[in-house]
Amino acid sequence: MISPIIIALDLDYEDSLEFAKKIDPKHCRLKVGSQLFTQKGPQIIEELSILGFDIFLDLKFHDIPNTVASAVEVASEMGVWMLNVHTSGGSKMMEAARLAANKSANPPLVVGVTILTSLNQVDMNELGVKNISNQINDLASLAHKSSLDGIVCSAGDVRNIKSLLGKDFLTITPGIRSINAQKDDQSRISSAKQAIEDGSDYLVIGRPITQSSDPLKSLEIFLKEIG
């Protein structure tokens, strides 16, 4: 059984491959985001898959329904395990993404991004959103109605989302930090243990592992923390 940890490969191509070759696919899945995919595209997906990893393609598709559907169909054919779209693209866009993914022989999980964990209430006020929790609930409900598998949200939102939409609606939690972590560009963060206790299904961990002095040891510490 693979652990719920998803390591964000916010590294360049060479460093990502070197890192992946040192770890066991049983201990984590890998997330490929905009930086790495822009550098190497489908090649990195193929190479990481050959190493045995499930891949979360984190490109946060957000466009007109037809464009998103086409992108999701291509991503699905690459064999990714999970991909995401922005829930603020609306129900038609999310439904188009779901239908496109389902065309694949092995459909990936399709999850929605609600509010980025780098944003706090002050940031959302600039965008005209007066209550971040209510906005997350509304976007999560729309994603559920649009047949997505779950959402990306902070650990602090998980209990409420599970209560609102059921335990089978997946919650993918970024912003995971060690207990003694220094403040960075993430606003709504949590420890791995707390996120699991709150009901998070998957934990996205990047810099606390990949930029630590001993990445393998850091991964081991997180694995022990979540039991």
Q: Which residues of 85-99 are buried (b: 16+ CB within 10 A; e: fewer)?
A: bbbbbeeebbbbbbe
Do 159 and 195 meet the contact criterion of CB atoms below 8 Å apart?
A: no
From the candidates 31, 40, 60, 183, which is the catalytic residue? 60
Other C-beta atoms lying within 10 Å of the C-beta of residue 140 = 25
Q: Which amino acid is at 12?
A: D
Q: Residues in the chain, how many?
A: 227
Q: Are 33 and 116 in contact (CB under 8 A)?
A: no
Q: Whole-angstrom Cα distance, residue 198 to residue 185? A: 23
Taking the C-alpha atoms of residue 120 and residue 69, their distance in angstroms, rounded to an integer, is 30
- Tell me whether residue 167 is one of the annotated catalytic residues: no
**Cα–Cα distance, 159 to 149 (Å, whole number):** 17
Report yes or no: 7 and 57 within 8 Å, Cβ to Cβ.
no
Residues annotated as catalytic are 60
